[in-house]
Amino acid sequence: MFRRPDAPMGAPERRAEARPAIIVAGPGSSTTIPGIMVSEIVLALAHATPVTRIEVDLGIDFTVGLHRAPSLAIAHGAADSANIVRLRAPDSARFRAQAFREWIGPDVGTAVAFAWPGIDNGWIKQFLHIARAARVATIVACASLPRTSHARAVALADSISRADLVLVGDDADRVALLGAFGLSGPKVETHRALALGSRADRSSKHQITAFLPRDSTSTLATLLAAFDAIPEAWIQDYNLQVVMRGAGSVLPEMIANSYHADHVQLIEEDLTTPDLEELCATSSVLSVADPAFDSRAFSTAVDCGIATVVLSTTTLPEVGRGYVGGLLADLSHPASVHVALAHALRLAELGFPTPDSWDDLALRLRGFTPDRASAVRLLEPAAQG
């Protein structure tokens, strides 16, 4: 149903304005960090442009260590994505090339490949080769990982050298790629949406603040079970604040009986707006149970750009639309809450991009037009990929 005719090889070059669709290929599903970045790029583009998203997974283990909890933004986006076609590339290189040729049709003006250093990005050269043969503008968006990582963008120079434009997250990667490409290489720019950094300048203490419904002992029990799953050898670096009102001594007793009770504080008083903002400012991550659409805690977290876990008993809560820092956890399963909190802390450590950075990146991708040198390269015989 997704088959499209190939663009004739001898056809005259078409202007990008006459070919509005964009095709975005990248690794992983929306439960991996690379996959969620691809999803955010696709969702931002889809506000104004038809987008085809191709998921490329070359092996079952290539995203080990990159998995994360479900994203609220992607969950909402999946329900609101009439402008997006989702495809999965075949594992075989031969069949994958055939699929790329079918999918990069005459309506496609721009082909974007997302690269994550350190995993198998061998498909990118093939993707760029086929896009160039179809007279399509080509862009590589490459994540810049924390300085402590040994995987750098320059290791991908050979795979991405045939693109018209390469976008990276930091200037060190830009300079290294320009040196590797030489004078005949593509244009290289930086963009903040692709920058992931370490947390060397921040406290190593993980402050989790949770907002729970009044007297909901079952919700508190789930949260405490998730927090108690933190290994004892690590707990000195963790602290949990529970903002929750209740009658009697039930809540304090539940906390006192928890395994990591010495690292849990209960806040029962009403919070003013300044109090709430102060809590957000001093927290690593927030957790909010079943927030209403006008939840003050969730909206403050979004305003502060803090990674936030929504504990939900419903399939899809009303909040979180478009907020990349929102994760979803199942309140009926403490393991789900534990994983979501751990992944929210990881996003905080990475300095994950804010929602407006994806919109800005989408504007750059939609507005890109190859310069004269790149246009000449499009008309040259494509290099074998």
Q: Over pLDDT 90: what percentage of the chain?
A: 39
Identify the pLDDT of residue 9. Answer: 32
pLDDT averaged over the chain? 81
Number of helices (H) and strands (E) in the chain: give both, helices first: 13, 13
5-10, Cβ contacts within 8 angstroms, sequence gap of 24 or more: 5/105, 5/106, 6/101, 6/102, 6/105, 6/134, 7/104, 7/105, 7/106, 7/134, 7/135, 9/133
pLDDT in tens, 81-109: 678 888 999 988 899 999 999 999 999 99
pLDDT band at residue 336 under the 50/70/90 scheme: confident
Q: What is the structure's pLDDT at 73?
A: 66
Q: What is the pLDDT of residue 150?
A: 63
Comparing 322 with 234, the larger pLDDT belongs to: 234
Mean pLDDT on 33-45? 85
Give the tens place of pLDDT for each residue, 297-318. Answer: 888 888 777 888 888 876 677 7
pLDDT at position 184 over 90:
no
54 confidence band (pLDDT: 50, 70, 90): very high
Task: Give the pLDDT band (50/70/90) at residue 331.
Answer: confident
CA distance 279 to 62: 38
Cα(33)–Cα(52) distance, integer angstroms: 19
Tell me, what's the pLDDT at 74? 67
Tell the CATH topology of 206-350.
Answer: Rossmann fold (3.40.50)
For residue 249, give Cα distances in angstroms to 222, 268, 340: 18, 11, 29
Q: What is the pLDDT of residue 131?
A: 96
Tell the CATH topology of 16-196+354-379: Rossmann fold (3.40.50)
CATH 3.40.50.2000 spans which residues of the chain?
16-196+354-379, 206-350
Q: Does residue 254 or residue 57 have the better pLDDT? A: 254
What are the DSSP calls for 60-84, one per residue?
A: TTTTTT-B-PPBHHHHHHHHS-TTE
Nearest to 165 by CA among 141, 195, 200: 141
Q: What is the pTM of this model?
A: 0.73
21-35, 56-70, 222-236, 287-301: which has the minimum mean pLDDT? 56-70
